[in-house]
Amino acid sequence: MSHKFTQYRPLLNQSLTHAVEYLESLPDRPVDNLISAESLRQSIGGSLPMQASDPAQVLGELAANVEPGLIGSGGPRFFGYAIGGSFPVALAADWLVSAWDQNVPYYVASPGTSVVEETAAEWMLELLGLPETAGVGFVSGAQEGIYTALITARNSLLNNAGWDVATRGLYNAPRITVVASDQIHSTIKRALSMIGIGVEQIKTLPTDANLRILPESIADVMAQCEGPTLVCAQAGCIDSGAFDPFEALAAEVKRHPNAWLHIDGAIGLWSAVSDSQRHLLKGIELADSWDTDGHKWFNMPYDSGMVIVRDAKLLVTAMGGSSMGDYLTDAIAKPDRNAINFGISASRRARGVPVYAAIKALGKQGIEAHLDHCCALAQRLAGTLSQVEGITILNDVVSNRFSAQFGNGNEAFRNRLTERVVHRLQQDGFCYPSTSGYKGLKTMLFSVLSCHTTTEDIDDTAEAIIRTFNDELAQLRAETTAALCD
């Protein structure tokens, strides 16, 4: 069966209609439709198709059957986890990426998109205030970015200790000690498990009430690390938005004979673009590697992440260097910047194209305005909630996120009430925060990341949260009283 190029237009026009209808419904549709998995399986699943079907019918059914199971995470009132929306220009550029269908890891396979990614990387380094000679890889997200950076760190640390991982493997290799916050993100632990270091090698640094590493603890912990040492810090803690003391960490890493500093900036690294927020990242440029997400605060379509390594040659070597075969060998020097040297993927789409389009369309001023607006909205909501008796904001709101608890009294009561409030908000569908933990407490995690969120959305959300809190508090008190009377 032969497909003709003239078949694309009607199908893409059909997809455009469905896509635009969905996007334009986001301001008013429930954030969570609460459809069951079984209902979705009945409409989407079925036996393996054995014969061809009309493509237009397939697209129509796909849009209709999947739509009830879509979470409105791209809308203006999704505040859970760390999921952003999409800048319109980034989404439009991503459609071009799909249509072009280029395999970008090799310059010869797609010179145009290779240069787009090269340019986007250069612009990113300038925006973030990082060394212009650093190596940048466009990866699937911060998890892959962390994985890639820590592989590079592992290989470099062991090479400095006289051990070549690429040829000798990890058997009998020197042990690497990891130093990280007691608020270490799960993605760091996951990466350590995957690259053969393991979570048992972690020495933890204590944090303050805002979940920021205590600077005075760093020297003592580092003094316990005699061999190769990997230090991990956070730019934007998941639960508080706090930034670790990068200057103090970098100073101790520099004093150590064989240490590497990695900054997990999945969310907060973008604060470096803002003149009013940059002070939070003082010393960030002193690290050896960084990771960040595009699909969180920078509002790229999924999947979009970045890994950055100060010494580009170390990243290239860790990713295989010239060992990949003569037909893939190239220099770091332009114009033949093969992206395969800056990440683990040998085949991938041109993830840097939407990044390029957004930076060019918004400029630094537009990106900065987006970042500052999100922070102002988070601070506005936290300020409103903190005035209500029984609602506690647990952290200083220095960025675009905060954690809150509901109720007074013992911890068990507050945890239970908080969980009920958040789940009720999710079920009602008007707004969507998520639950998390804050030094052992059950909390409401609230993140403002979307370019679509307005002051009106925040004020309406505040009313919904306060109303739900009062309703659930009254109901829980009634249930507790009834239980005592039984």
What CATH number is attached to the domain comprising 143?
3.40.640.10
Query: Are 386 and 318 in the same domain?
Result: no
Report how far residue 42's alpha carbon sits from residue 56's, in angstroms, rounded to the nearest whole number. Answer: 21
- Let me know if residue 82 belongs to a domain: no
More confident residue, 109 or 279: 279
Q: Is omega for the bond preceding 303 within 30 degrees of 0, making it cis?
A: yes
Predicted confidence band at 484 (pLDDT cuts at 50, 70, 90)? confident
Report how far residue 233's alpha carbon sits from residue 243's, in angstroms, rounded to the nearest whole number. Answer: 8
Q: Which of 245-254, 267-276, 312-321, 334-343 has the weakest average pLDDT?
A: 334-343
Judged against a pLDDT cut of 80, whether residue 152 lies above it is answered with: yes
pLDDT, residue 331, reads 43
Per cent of the chain over pLDDT 70 is 96
Query: Are 338 and 386 in the same domain?
Result: no
pLDDT, residue 326, reads 54
3-state secondary structure of 234: strand
Report how far residue 101's alpha carbon sits from residue 11's, in angstroms, rounded to the nearest whole number. Answer: 17
Q: Decide if 106 contacts 347 (C-beta within 8 A).
A: no
pLDDT, residue 325, reads 53
Query: Are 296 and 378 in the same domain?
Result: no
- Let me know if residue 75 belongs to a domain: no
Judged against a pLDDT cut of 90, whether residue 324 lies above it is answered with: no
- Let me know if residue 108 belongs to a domain: yes
- Mean pLDDT to the nearest integer, 361-372: 98
**Cβ neighbours of residue 344 under 8 Å, at least 6 residues apart?**
139, 144, 147, 148, 151, 319
| Strand 259-264 to 289-293 pairing | parallel
Token pair belonging to 43: 């409409």
Query: Are 174 and 211 in the same domain?
Result: yes
Query: Are 278 and 375 in the same domain?
Result: no
- Let me know if residue 78 belongs to a domain: no
Per cent of the chain over pLDDT 90 is 90
pLDDT, residue 320, reads 84
Report how far residue 218's alpha carbon sits from residue 206's, in angstroms, rounded to the nearest whole number. Answer: 9
Query: Are 198 and 286 in the same domain?
Result: yes
Judged against a pLDDT cut of 70, whether residue 428 lies above it is answered with: yes
Judged against a pLDDT cut of 90, whether residue 328 lies above it is answered with: no
Report how far residue 370's alpha carbon sits from residue 87's, in angstroms, rounded to the nearest whole number. Answer: 10
Report how far residue 170's alpha carbon sits from residue 398's, in angstroms, rounded to the nearest whole number. Answer: 41
Judged against a pLDDT cut of 50, whether residue 453 lies above it is answered with: yes
- Let me know if residue 251 belongs to a domain: yes
Query: Are 165 and 239 in the same domain?
Result: yes
Q: Decide if 85 contacts 452 (C-beta within 8 A).
A: yes
- Let me know if residue 74 belongs to a domain: no
Range of the domain at 311: 92-358
Query: Are 391 and 338 in the same domain?
Result: no
**Total of domains in the chain:** 3
Token pair belonging to 296: 């969180």
Q: What is the DSSP letter of 105?
A: T
pLDDT tens-digit map of 79-127: 999 999 999 999 999 999 999 999 998 888 899 999 999 999 999 999 9
Chain centroid, CA 454 distance in Å: 22
pLDDT, residue 336, reads 62
Query: Are 231 and 298 in the same domain?
Result: yes
Q: Decide if 181 contacts 213 (C-beta within 8 A).
A: yes
- Mean pLDDT to the nearest integer, 47-53: 95
pLDDT, residue 332, reads 46
- Let me know if residue 394 belongs to a domain: yes
Choose one of 326, 342, 358: the last residue of a domain.
358
Report how far residue 163's alpha carbon sits from residue 167's, in angstroms, rounded to the nearest whole number. Answer: 9
Query: Are 307 and 379 in the same domain?
Result: no
Judged against a pLDDT cut of 70, whether residue 323 lies above it is answered with: no
Q: Decide if 281 contacts 264 (C-beta within 8 A).
A: no
CATH number reported for the structural domain that contains residue 478 in this entry? 3.90.1150.170
- Let me know if residue 83 belongs to a domain: no
pLDDT tens-digit map of 224-240: 999 999 999 999 999 99
pTM of the model: 0.95
Query: Are 342 and 372 in the same domain?
Result: no
Report how far residue 139's alpha carbon sits from residue 146's, in angstroms, rounded to the nearest whole number. Answer: 10
- Mean pLDDT to the nearest integer, 49-70: 96
Query: Are 59 and 182 in the same domain?
Result: no
